[in-house]
């Protein structure tokens, strides 16, 4: 005879075993399940870059392919390079209005919409790529970015990072502040506004027009990105002096979706987009590092002279940056709010950056 207590204990063990067995079979069968398999969506994504544009253009093509793969083809991305559907800077308004579903660009191109948008790309003497990622992901940056973009029916994601950019190509050597006076330079964002206070005349030109403008002396200087893309543009052929940078130390690109389109997607699909955008952000950063290293040899062999701006210019540029920030904060509550978040985060994090990577680089 089995007493009641033994019977109950034995029954519980058998029941648990059966339940676990069932869970195991169910878990196994879930591997091939895609809850969105009958909900296939095409995303029409326009970019600010020409077709097959290295790193940035090819990066978004890779993102599209990866998203199609991990979604088991339930998210199909059709990429439209610059000027196929829209001009380079027309993507923001088109996505906001729902004419396209998404775009890949840089936030500071749209500072005319809201001055705070400058800061979601980066700012002079600001965050490195690592610090920028940390602010966006862990310092409240993404919440602010999405709050402001929601006013335009948009949902932003990290879209890649160029890492530190070079300070630009100049047709003459810059030895003092006086040498900057009156120079016509292609440069966007807050960097352009800082240079303006130093006497430069900033010009915003599409990529395809910069080389000819330099060659024909319409421009005296241009910044673009770094050796990897600068040499492909051929700037080393028309400007001799190549300066190290401080205006864009870790510029983040933006992958942005129309809010209505994004909200129509399933939770699983939304998570896939976030995962693929995080991969895009990381791989683009590492690709810039690798390709800049290779292209630096091209710069050196071209006869270009690599220089650093004189201390006088750096000191004046930092003062000018503070003036720009003060002016914009007084005019825009949004700018002030985002600046206070970014600046506070940078002040706190630079202690570790200086102790960690800066000390290591100095010792290396």
Q: What is the pLDDT of residue 25?
A: 39
DSSP β-bridge partners for residue 243: 168, 307
Q: What is the pLDDT of residue 206?
A: 75
- pLDDT above 90 for 364: yes
Q: What is the pLDDT of residue 31?
A: 47
What band does 30 get if pLDDT is binned at 50, 70 and 90? very low
Tens digits of per-residue pLDDT, 322-331?
A: 999 999 999 9
CATH class, domain 41-160+250-290, is alpha beta
Distance CA 227, CA 235 (A): 10
Distance CA 100, CA 61 (A): 17
Tens digits of per-residue pLDDT, 249-259?
A: 999 999 999 99
Tens digits of per-residue pLDDT, 338-362?
A: 999 999 999 999 999 999 999 999 9
Q: How far is CA 132 from CA 96, 177, 309, 342, 355, in A?
A: 25, 30, 24, 9, 18
- pLDDT above 60 for 209: yes
The rounded percent of the chain whose pLDDT value lies above 90 is: 87
Instruction: List, by residue range, all CATH 3.40.190.10 domains of the chain.
Output: 168-249+303-337
Q: What is the pLDDT of residue 205?
A: 83
Q: What is the pLDDT of residue 207?
A: 78
What band does 208 get if pLDDT is binned at 50, 70 and 90? confident
Going through the chain in order, the beta strands assigned E by DSSP cover 41-47, 75-80, 102-105, 154-161, 168-170, 184-186, 201-203, 221-222, 241-243, 252-258, 305-307
Tens digits of per-residue pLDDT, 95-107?
A: 999 999 999 999 9
Residue pair 148/334 in contact by the 8 Å Cβ criterion = yes
Q: What is the pLDDT of residue 34?
A: 55
15-29, 265-279, 342-356: the lowest-pLDDT one: 15-29
Q: Which whole number is the average pLDDT over 80-101?
A: 96
- pLDDT above 80 for 4: no
- pLDDT above 50 for 192: yes
Specify the higher pLDDT residue, 14 or 113: 113
What band does 38 get if pLDDT is binned at 50, 70 and 90? low
Q: What is the pLDDT of residue 35?
A: 56
Instruction: List, by residue range, all CATH 3.40.190.170 domains of the chain.
Output: 41-160+250-290
Q: What is the pLDDT of residue 39?
A: 76
Cα angle 143, 148, 150 (rounded to 5 degrees) comes to 95
Rounded CA Rg of the chain: 25
Q: What is the pLDDT of residue 204?
A: 83
- Fold for 168-249+303-337, please state it: D-Maltodextrin-Binding Protein; domain 2 (3.40.190)
Q: What is the pLDDT of residue 212?
A: 96
- pLDDT above 80 for 8: no
Side-chain-side CA neighbours of 42 within 13 Å: the count stands at: 6
Tens digits of per-residue pLDDT, 153-178?
A: 999 999 999 999 999 999 999 999 99
Q: What is the pLDDT of residue 37?
A: 59
Residue 12 in tokens: 């519980």
Q: Which whole number is the average pLDDT over 278-295?
A: 97
Exposure pattern of 264-283 as b/e (b: 16+ CB <10 Å)?
A: ebbeebeebbeebbebbbeb
Q: Which whole number is the average pLDDT over 188-205?
A: 94
What band does 36 get if pLDDT is binned at 50, 70 and 90? low
């Amino acid at each position: 005879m089995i007493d009641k207590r033994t019977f109950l204990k034995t029954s519980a063990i058998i029941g648990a075993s059966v339940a676990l067995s069932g869970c195991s079979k169910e878990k196994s069968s879930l591997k091939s399940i895609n809850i969105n398999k009958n909900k296939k969506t095409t995303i029409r994504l326009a970019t600010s870059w020409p077709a097959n544009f290295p790193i940035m253009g090819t990066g978004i093509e890779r993102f599209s392919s990866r998203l199609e793969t991990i979604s088991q083809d339930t998210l199909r991305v059709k990429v439209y390079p610059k000027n196929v559907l829209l001009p380079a800077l027309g993507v923001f308004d088109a996505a906001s209005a729902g004419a396209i579903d998404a775009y890949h660009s840089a936030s500071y191109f749209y500072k005319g919409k809201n001055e705070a948008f400058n800061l979601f790309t980066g700012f002079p003497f600001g965050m490195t790529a690592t610090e920028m990622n940390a602010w966006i992901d862990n310092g409240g940056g993404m919440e602010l970015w999405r709050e402001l973009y929601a006013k335009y029916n948009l949902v932003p994601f990290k879209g890649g990072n160029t890492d530190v950019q070079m300070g630009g190509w100049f047709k003459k050597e810059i030895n003092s502040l006086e040498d900057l006076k009156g120079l016509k330079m292609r440069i966007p964002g807050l960097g352009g506004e800082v240079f303006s206070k130093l006497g430069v005349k900033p010009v915003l030109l599409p990529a395809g027009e910069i080389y000819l403008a330099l060659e024909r002396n319409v421009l005296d200087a241009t910044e673009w990105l770094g050796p990897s893309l600068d040499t492909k543009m051929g700037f080393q052929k028309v400007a001799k002096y190549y300066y190290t940078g401080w205006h864009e130390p870790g510029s983040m690109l933006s992958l942005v979706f129309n809010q209505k389109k994004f909200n129509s997607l399933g939770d699983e699909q939304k998570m896939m987009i976030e995962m693929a955008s995080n991969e895009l952000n990381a791989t683009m950063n590492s690709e810039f590092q690798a390709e800049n290293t290779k292209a630096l040899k091209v710069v050196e062999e071209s006869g270009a002279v690599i220089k650093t701006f004189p201390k006088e210019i750096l000191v004046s540029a930092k003062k000018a940056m503070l003036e720009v920030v003060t002016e914009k904060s007084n005019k825009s509550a949004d700018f002030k709010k985002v600046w206070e978040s970014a600046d506070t985060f940078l002040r706190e994090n630079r202690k570790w950056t200086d102790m960690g990577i800066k000390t290591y680089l100095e010792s290396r």
